[in-house]
Amino acid sequence: MSTTISDITVQTIDGARKPLSDYSGKALLIVNVASYCGYTSQYAGLQKLYEKYQSQGLEVLGFPCNDYGSQEPDANEKIQQFCSTRFGVTFPLFDKVHARGAEQHPLYAKLTQTEPKGEVSWNFEKFLVSKTGEVVNRFKSAVGPDSPELIAAIERELF
């Protein structure tokens, strides 16, 4: 298995294949998202992070996931509409994935094999990936996008 996520290809919410190598040289904040979760309001904070740091090399990547409490049952088109109209999301959203279990997406298989190892425990868990494609930090769902520890970690990767 590769030491970076750059060799993994994902599918955009519109159905296009997107190699993560397209993001080489950028820091990534990868988040499993859901529309009907107690943490759904984090979309707004993720969008603010994206707006503040995108020009400095941060990409926020949202992966809808229905693995936790069936809190993302909708089809991609409805998810995209919800995110843009309710939270003004402009960061990239992708096809719905499994973050755990037998059908775990290869991206999440890779993310969860990096220290600290272990399954994603709920919606809105965040993985910070360096500009070289290595997972450098992981934040549980309760760590909000405006959390000083998350912002400090992002800034360490960017500056």
Distances (CA, A) of 69 to 97, 112, 153: 14, 20, 29
Return the structure tokens found at 108: 């999440």
**CATH number for 86:** 3.40.30.10
Give the residue ranges of the chain where pLDDT is below 50: 1-2
- pLDDT at 63 (0 to 100): 98
With respect to residue 150, please indicate whether it lies within any of the assigned structural domains.
yes
Q: How many structural domains are present in the chain?
A: 1
Is the whole model's pTM more than 0.85, yes or no? yes
Enclosing domain of residue 151: 9-158
Which residues form the catalytic set?
37
With respect to residue 1, please indicate whether it lies within any of the assigned structural domains.
no
With respect to residue 4, please indicate whether it lies within any of the assigned structural domains.
no
- pLDDT at 114 (0 to 100): 81
With respect to residue 97, please indicate whether it lies within any of the assigned structural domains.
yes
With respect to residue 59, please indicate whether it lies within any of the assigned structural domains.
yes
With respect to residue 2, please indicate whether it lies within any of the assigned structural domains.
no
With respect to residue 3, please indicate whether it lies within any of the assigned structural domains.
no
Distances (CA, A) of 120 to 42, 54, 109, 114: 17, 25, 10, 12
- pLDDT at 3 (0 to 100): 54
With respect to residue 88, please indicate whether it lies within any of the assigned structural domains.
yes
- pLDDT at 115 (0 to 100): 78
